[in-house]
Homo-oligomer: A and B are copies of this chain.
Amino acid sequence: MTIKVVAKHYVKPEKVEDYIGLSKKLVKETLKEEGCIEYGLYQDSKDPLVLTMIEEWEDNNCLERHFDSAHFKEIVPLTTECFEKEVEINIYNKIV
C-alpha cells in the first residue's frame, strides 16, 4: 500500500517567494526519484502563508531514501528560516 505525506508549513510573509523558489528545485529533483508517485506544493486558498507539500510514495523505504537524497539534504535546511513555526508533518497509511 502506498503512503501519503502531508507537510504543512506556516511561512513568514517576507519569505513566501524564497520558499516557493526553493520548493521548485526540490519538487523537480524529487519527482525523478524511484517510488515517488506524487510530490507537489500547494497553497491554502484562504491563507497564502500556509504552504503544504502533499506527497505519495510507493512505500516507506522510498520515503527514507528521499530523506537521505542529496537534493533533500541540500535544500530542506535552507527552507527552515522561512517558517513562522515548526512544520507539521503527518505520514499516512490508506484505510479506505
Contact = CB atoms under 8 A, between A and B. Distances in A.
DSSP class of A's interface residues: helix, strand, loop or mixed?
strand
Nearest to A25: B96
- Copies of this protein in the assembly total 2
A92 interface: yes
Nearest to A90: B44
A94 B94 CA distance: 22
A6 B54 CA distance: 9
Interface in A60-91: 90-91
Listed residue (A3, A27, A42) with the most chain B CB atoms within 10 angstroms of its CB: A42
B51 A54 contact: no
Interface of A: 3-4, 6, 8, 20, 23-24, 27, 40-46, 50-52, 54, 90-96
7 contacts: A6-B6, A6-B52, A6-B54, A23-B96, A40-B95, A40-B96, A45-B92
